[in-house]
Amino acid sequence: MDKKWWKESVVYQIYPRSFKDSNGDGIGDLQGIISKLDYLNHLGVDVVWLCPVYQSPNDDNGYDISNYQSIMDDFGTLSDWEELLAGLHSRGMKLIMDLVVNHSSDEHAWFVESRKSQDNPYRDYYIWRPGKDGQPPNDWGSFFSGSAWEYDEKSEEYYLHLFSRKQPDLNWDNPKLRKEIYDMMTWWLDKGIDGFRMDVINLISKVPELPSVSGESNGEQPTYHFGGDYFVNGPRVHEYMQEMNREVLSKYDIMTVGEAVNVTPEEASLYVSEDRNELNMVFHFELMDVDSGPGGKWNVQPWKLADIKSIISKWQVALDGKGWNSLYMNNHDQPRMLSRFGDDKLFPKESGKMLATLLHTLQGTPYIYQGEEIGMTNVQFASIDDYKDIEIVNMYKEYLAAGHSEEKIMNSIYIKGRDNGRTPMQWNSEPQAGFTTGTPWLALNPNYKDINVEKALADPDSLFHYYKKLIELRKQHEIIVYGNYTILAEENEQVYAYLRALGEEQLLVVLNFFGEPATFELPSTVKFQAKELLIANYEVNPEEELNTIQLRPYEARVYKLS
């Protein structure tokens, strides 16, 4: 077993625009983060993942970068960033930066040059093609609705943008571009950062012919399709990841995690197996799609515990001894996990603790998204005008035009919209939740008077203190990090239970996933002489027998068996 610091770490994700505003302009910033470093240290996290703070026109909230080596004015200056890095390191925490290199902003100097003419030296930094019969080069749809191609009148060709039209895809087949990216990564690593989270990194290699999905034209009104067969885990992606590792990553003691769209455990092992020399971990989306119907993300259907168990078990077993799992149930692109997988009305504390227990007792590195540790929830704004996310706004227009009812569209947004996770961090019950003295860039969740950091810190039984204990347990018990995983009572429709094992030790985790009492029968194959209750979200008699456990709503227990 290869022990590494990043396997033993807990990561805290910061979405800077919504974390803490220091100057009253309503936008979170670097000085705001600096002012809360002692809070993060108190929680006990080891690593901060900082969402993009680079220069950007903000078409997609900083994931459209116009200068990779400059800080966005909204967030502060490079010296503020250096102060943040020093502040983290002095407290024993590390910093990983978001690397967004599938695409840049259309305002990046490379693209400004690229679009000047077809023979510009930077033309080949992006993916340009002539149209076909007055239509785009192929029928690929953008992740953010509409065509994945935009016509440029000046140079009379289309450029590819898998995301917004202001996010042109970079051409990774160009070795000059790759060298520029590697040089930029080296520049940040030499400044002392501790790694990268890589945005949609498995989309960087496209099938060179860029074929259409349907192969047929639809006359005047083209229909756009998901072209993933031609750019997800593309033909040269592993060549490029190994080159990146060889040229840059292998020279530093860092952690890397790649966002990997539509990846299976078998494909993931190609990115993360230790003998592959690519990445340490990937973020997969199988669990995040557990409540998506055949129509995709916005076609919401209730999740089933059997599916959650099956997905997690598959990934736990497939990567054991080969690679490493990343453990998360929400982030800046997902709804709040308490609202999605727990009960944020009747059992917020119990279900929040149960979900936290799951994420922090599996094999892998847990990621906490800001506000998760205090039980922040989804939001329901009355009007589409209150939403800022480009994906939500584009979907609303497209679905309305296609004849869907506004009520149905808004309901999907309430359940799955990305702005659920982007409402400002709730620090206290003062106006604007202590996030800003001005008007916040995105409205607050109105429940901030009840759910906030100040209240959580004052309550010894709060979700925050439970997270703190889970993080401490991980540091005290190696089995929580490195033990293997076996599912128990797989057919139980209410309870998720599993066994972790390392040497002579075993860890028993029992979770009631619902708001009704449940019964768990311990399989007779689980043998032990002594038991120790490590953590639970209810009062439990430590002498209670484990053969049959009567669980209360959303009850979670973790026992160490020996």
Among candidate residues 64, 169, 199, 291, the one labeled active-site is 199
Among candidate residues 59, 259, 373, 419, the one labeled active-site is 259
Count CA atoms closer than 13 A to 290's CA, side-chain side: 21
Residue burial 183-211, b: 16+ Cβ < 10 Å; e: rest: ebbeebbeeebbbbbbbbbbbbbbeeebe
* Rounded CA separation 84/107 (Å): 27
466: three-class secondary structure by DSSP:
helix
HEC string for 380-412? CCCCHHHCCCHHHHHHHHHHHHCCCCHHHHHHH
Task: Supply the DSSP string of 401-461, one letter for each residue.
Answer: HTT--HHHHHHHHHHH-GGGGTSPP---SSGGGGT-SS--SSPPPGGGGTS-HHHHHH-TT
Contact present, 513 and 337 (Cβ < 8 Å): no
Tokens of 130: 């002539």
Locate the DSSP E strands across 219-288: 255-259, 281-283
Count the neighbouring beta carbons within 10 Å of the beta carbon of residue 36.
18
Tokens of 198: 């890589």
* Rounded CA separation 36/34 (Å): 5
Residue burial 354-383, b: 16+ Cβ < 10 Å; e: rest: bbbbbbbbbbbbbbbbbbbbbbbbbbebee
Count CA atoms closer than 13 A to 58's CA, side-chain side: 12
Does the annotation count 199 as an active-site position?
yes
Residues with catalytic annotation? 199, 259
